[in-house]
Amino acid sequence: MDEVRLIEVKQDIHADNERAAEELRARLADTKTFLLNLMSSPGAGKTTTILKTLEQMPESLEVGVLEADIDSMVDAERIASAGISAIQLRTGGFCHLDAAMVSKGLDALDLDALDLVIIENVGNLVCPAEFDTGAVRNAMILSVPEGDDKPLKYPLMFTVCDVLLVNKIDYMELSDFDMGVMLERVERLNPEIEIFEISAKTGWGVKEWAAWLSREVAGFIAD
């Protein structure tokens, strides 16, 4: 019987993606375009959060959005209807975006004219955390109805993110979600993470999050 060869495909894929991500970051530095990668489970409120956030951002800021979905344009159409430049990335079954996919999407935008581009990644707490998109910052949304145990189940997601948005805070009274326990679990994984409690539906807490993002964008542009 011939010897069976083992080829570590995942390692090669990640190595190629890291190179593409670094090239993309260099490109974004040249155009002074801040790229935010926003991740969450399906239904956590990514699109609504994006829209509410942009309402609180300076009007002078030029913004574009990359919408990723397996087989839909619903979210991109919703973003575009609000007057925001939107590109739909249809992944065709892939449960994440990587740097090459993001770079292709950015090719459809005029980066020289944009200060901020937000990626709405595929709704998933597993795959998106494994792939560097070339973003300047990673953010994730954890909605209250999902429960406070998600840091235990998906530790990598909480580890790679710079920001955690705890959304649907208006559901707290209807839930057994324990904010203190969740915060302890998250900070054990990532002591440097920024945490904002928000309700994208009502707008509660979004101003503080938008102010943080505005400062990050301004600092990146000025650097």
pLDDT at 2: 55
* Residue 195 belongs to domain spanning: 9-222
Would residue 176 count as lying in a domain?
yes
Would residue 86 count as lying in a domain?
yes
| Backbone dihedral angles phi then psi of residue 143, each to the nearest 5 degrees | -90, 145
Cβ-contact 138, 162 below 8 angstroms? yes
Would residue 2 count as lying in a domain?
no
Taking residues 35-45, what's their average pLDDT?
A: 96
Q: What token pair was written down for 141? A: 């949304």
Quote helix, strand, coil % in the chain, to nearest 5: 45, 20, 35
Would residue 200 count as lying in a domain?
yes
Count of domains forming the chain: 1
- DSSP of 20-33, one letter per residue? HHHHHHHHHHHHT-
Cβ-contact 88, 69 below 8 angstroms? yes
Which pLDDT band, with edges at 50, 70 and 90, does 95 fall under? confident
Taking residues 84-90, what's their average pLDDT?
A: 87
Q: What token pair was written down for 121? A: 């990644």
Half-sphere exposure of 34 (CA within 13 A, CB side): 20
Residue 80 belongs to domain with CATH number: 3.40.50.300
